[in-house]
Amino acid sequence: MQEINNKTIWITGASSGIGEACAYLFAKENANLILTALEEDKLEEVKLKCLGLGGKCEILPYNLADIDGIDELVSKAFSFFGRIDVMYNNAGISQRGLAGETLFSVDRKIMEVNFFAPVKITKLLLPKMIENGGGTIAVTTSISGRFGFPLRSAYSSSKHALYGFFETLHAEYYDKNIRVVIVCPGRVKTNISFYALEQDGKQHSKLDAGQAGGITTEAAAKKIVNAIKKQKPEVLVGKKELLMVYIKRFFPNVARKLVRKIKPE
């Protein structure tokens, strides 16, 4: 199990939800934190709490849909503590729209934030991580990255793509002491459905019933932080909905029938 004390950990999507809850747990173990999200004011609030818990903390507000600026973003991240030991690519946008009716611009934005941003960050981090003796790269996918899900065509696609990239990364760079942790949540009580994009790109602006009934961010963070410390290749986070992962694996035809019966939210 890797020690977190004095390690530098960069978390995207850190202003709320899973990212925020993980930041507090890392802060309690005296980590050096870099927090990224859109909302600078919310990041400042999280930073103050992290400092109060014993961690060191810097904020790095950014819109991850701006792929071209990520080179500079990574340079700024390294400037704070001189190294990054753990990268947790957690930021993401969900979706609520039929595949055939969702604007292509919406598909593109979801892919940019959910897939291309963490991929580019990771590619830029790798050389310095390897130079420093290795590191851990974690990424939040979803059980929707294991099977298609109604109203989530682009979201599910982006999460499937994360599995392909980061499982390959694990295989290619394991001997360089790069460890990959794939975080696979089911339903966690966050605001992800509130900020989801509808088919025309408008914000969904409501908390879905399934999301509201999910596990707490605190409970999710405990499992995730433990998995990162142990450098587990994958961790499933959620309740009974995680059964679908195993149903899809062992009974794919049954899984397809069940997905078709899911009531869209």
Which positions are catalytic? 155
What are the distances in angstroms from CA 22 to CA 71, 109, 215, 221? Answer: 25, 26, 14, 5
Phi (first) and psi of residue 162, to 5 degrees: -60, -40
Distance separating the N- and C-terminal Cα atoms of the chain: 39
What is the per-residue DSSP string for 194-263?
Answer: TT-EETTS-B--S--HHHHTSB-HHHHHHHHHHHHHHT-SEEEESSGGGHHHHHHHH-HHHHHHHHHTPP
Q: How far is CA 175 from the centre of its chain?
A: 24
Which residue, among 69, 33, 72, 77, has the nearest Cα to 51 in the 3D structure? 33
Cβ 62 vs Cβ 38: under 8 Å: yes
- Buried b vs exposed e over 61-76: b needs ≥16 C-beta within 10 Å? bbebeeeeebeebbee
- H or E stretch covering 59: strand 56-59
